[in-house]
């Protein structure tokens, strides 16, 4: 069954198998340019992207599958046929008395019905054979669709260019990809906010330059991570809302073919564009395009994903550093093995996976930046092969990173006693200013006290650094008669909670005012658990 499931996760098979259809692996066959190969044997003889075969969720893998892509092409051809035929009803025409003005192209109900009945039963073998002859993927699928829709064949793709299906499908996939990612990001933020709230008041060493610094709390540190994730959430929401449809624009974006079809009626061309846009679920279409939509749209889509990758890399690096200190650990399964050679090890492999994939996600942003910069005039085709890789891989990578991070944040383990020991090791040095202030309040001289503390601190530092001993500054203070006036107050002076400032209050306000409102749109999906295959 494990091998079977692994095969079902493969990208080529997603193109051939419906989500609810499971066949024996030995019966699965892949047709490529007329040749038929035994899938079970062949799939292990060629490279398969781990993003699909190993990591990404089924819904994101399907979103960028050939099945989703080419069924979307067919739906777009159906939208076009419907809009070219159907009457227009809108507020503007009601006001002007032009209700029910038909667009008027020779498209029949029977043709539309025939196309709708074959929207998803794609013969991939025929399409592959057609493409091997025509060297044109869109026309190969036009012919394949026409083969099963003989009545509708004359009007499929009427007036359109390849980018009508190609670019519009890409925009639909980007939109749907964001719709998959946003609830996952919300769940990560939710889990981490609960962690921050639970540990809002637990003191811990702060680190600057990875050297011990003034105390913070475990929850306050988590809020630093949350703040970056909240920024990512807003960036992803904005990118998703900014997406528009390419619409019906023709070969170079002028809509000339449609103007000719509608005999110079500009209103009908605009109606057609608007109707198809609405059928595809978009509120707006780009008003101007070349043959393609501007490739800066890809930059705007992948940029927030890369930025989120940077956030997650930082979070998981912090957890890895804290795991080394044994203060915090990611979940570790009962039978999980950390090292084949060192059985005692508990490696932070989930965080390491996130960091590894986050670097890939960040690097992918270079592709749309360079692609947009080298598009000539109305378009060049040197964008196509690059985008087939960079767009899906960015969303697939972001998907598995979020799934993994959700798994991490649902099972983070904190070791308060280890944290306390580290605080007690460093706190005497950090408390020197407090000790000086207490001595001054007791009638001492600030400069004399400063010198006493300086000498004792250097002696204690020698014990720690050169002899490998514990920090004995507190014992030295207690043994020096000079500090007798404050010895009864040392416990209060050295209470870690007096060193965390307003950290707990900051956590409470931040979660209340910024984090929880951000999660409100995702309440229905917030409790979904993630099943992570490691």
Active site residues: 209, 339
Q: How far is it, in rounded angstroms, from Cα 236 to Cα 143?
A: 38
Query: Tokens in use for 102?
Result: 């038909």
SS3 state of residue 469 = coil
What are the distances in angstroms from CA 31 to CA 10, 14, 16, 38, 123?
Answer: 15, 13, 9, 9, 10
List phi, psi (to 5°) of 236: -65, -40
Q: What is the dihedral of CA 201, 203, 208, 209, to 10 degrees?
A: -130
Residues 6+ apart with CB under 8 A from 322: 328
**Helix axes of 266-279 and 66-85: crossing angle, nearest 10 degrees:** 140
Residues 76, 163: Cα–Cα separation, whole Å: 11
- Cβ neighbours of residue 162 closer than 8 Å, sequence gap 6 or more: 136, 138
Alpha-carbon gap, residue 269 to 277, rounded angstroms: 12
**For residues 325 and 422, is the Cβ–Cβ distance under 8 A?**
yes
Smallest Cα–Cα separation from 194: which of 521, 412, 503, 502?
412
What is Dmax (Cα atoms) for the chain? 104
Query: H/E element holding 236?
Result: helix 218-242
Question: What one-character-per-residue DSSP string does 279-320 give?
Answer: HTT-S-B-S--SSS--THHHHHHHHHHHHHHHHHHHHHHHHH
d(CA 443, CA 425): 29
Only one residue has tokens 């679920």, namely 281
Q: How far apart are CA 395 and CA 240, in angstroms?
A: 13
Closest CA to 432 of 214, 218, 156, 231: 214
């Amino acid at each position: 069954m494990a091998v079977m499931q692994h095969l079902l996760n493969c990208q080529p098979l997603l193109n051939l198998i419906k989500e609810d259809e499971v066949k024996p692996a030995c019966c699965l066959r892949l047709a490529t340019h007329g040749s038929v190969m035994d899938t079970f044997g062949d799939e292990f003889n060629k490279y398969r992207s781990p993003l699909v075969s190993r990591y990404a969720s089924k819904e994101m893998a399907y979103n960028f599958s050939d099945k989703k892509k080419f069924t979307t092409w067919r739906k777009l051809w159906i939208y076009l046929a419907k809009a070219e035929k159907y009457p227009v009803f809108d507020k503007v025409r009601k006001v002007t008395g032009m209700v029910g003005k038909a667009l008027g192209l020779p498209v029949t109900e029977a043709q539309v019905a025939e196309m709708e009945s074959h929207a998803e039963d794609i013969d991939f073998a025929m399409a592959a054979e057609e493409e091997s002859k025509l060297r044109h993927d869109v026309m190969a699928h036009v012919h394949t669709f026409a083969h099963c829709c003989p009545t509708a064949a004359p009007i499929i793709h009427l007036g359109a260019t390849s980018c009508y299906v190609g670019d519009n499908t890409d925009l639909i996939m980007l939109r749907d990809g964001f719709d998959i990612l946003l609830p996952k990001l919300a769940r990560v933020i939710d889990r981490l906010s609960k962690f921050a709230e639970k540990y809002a008041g637990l003191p811990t060493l702060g680190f600057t330059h990875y050297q011990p610094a003034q105390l913070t709390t475990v929850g306050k540190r988590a809020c630093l991570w949350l703040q970056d994730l909240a920024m990512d959430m807003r960036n992803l929401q904005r990118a998703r809302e900014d997406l528009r449809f390419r619409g019906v624009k023709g070969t170079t974006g002028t809509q000339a073919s449609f103007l000719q079809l509608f005999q110079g009626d500009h209103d009908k061309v605009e109606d057609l564009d608007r109707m198809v846009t609405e059928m595809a679920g978009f509120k707006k279409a780009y008003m101007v395009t070349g043959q393609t939509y501007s490739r800066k749209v890809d930059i705007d889509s992948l940029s927030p994903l890369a930025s989120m990758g940077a956030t997650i890399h930082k979070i998981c690096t912090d957890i890895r550093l804290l795991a080394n200190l044994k203060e915090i650990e990611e979940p570790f399964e009962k039978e999980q093995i950390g090292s084949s050679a060192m059985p005692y090890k508990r490696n932070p492999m989930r965080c390491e996976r996130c960091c590894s994939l986050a670097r890939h996600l960040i690097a992918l942003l270079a592709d749309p930046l360079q692609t947009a910069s080298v598009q000539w005039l109305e378009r060049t085709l040197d964008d196509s092969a690059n985008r087939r890789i960079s767009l899906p891989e960015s969303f697939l990578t972001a998907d598995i990173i979020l799934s993994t991070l959700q798994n991490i944040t649902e099972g983070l383990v904190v070791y308060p006693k280890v944290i306390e020991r580290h605080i007690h090791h460093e706190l005497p040095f950090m408390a020197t200013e407090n000790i000086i202030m207490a001595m001054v309040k007791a009638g001492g001289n600030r400069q004399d006290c400063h010198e006493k503390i300086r000498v004792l601190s250097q002696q204690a530092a020698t014990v720690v650094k050169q002899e490998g001993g514990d920090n004995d500054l507190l014992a030295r203070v207690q043994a020096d008669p000079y500090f007798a006036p404050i010895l009864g107050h040392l416990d209060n002076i050295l209470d870690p909670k007096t060193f965390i400032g307003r950290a707990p209050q900051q956590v409470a306000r931040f979660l209340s005012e910024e984090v929880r409102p951000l999660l409100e749109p995702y309440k229905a999906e917030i409790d979904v658990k993630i099943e992570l295959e490691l």
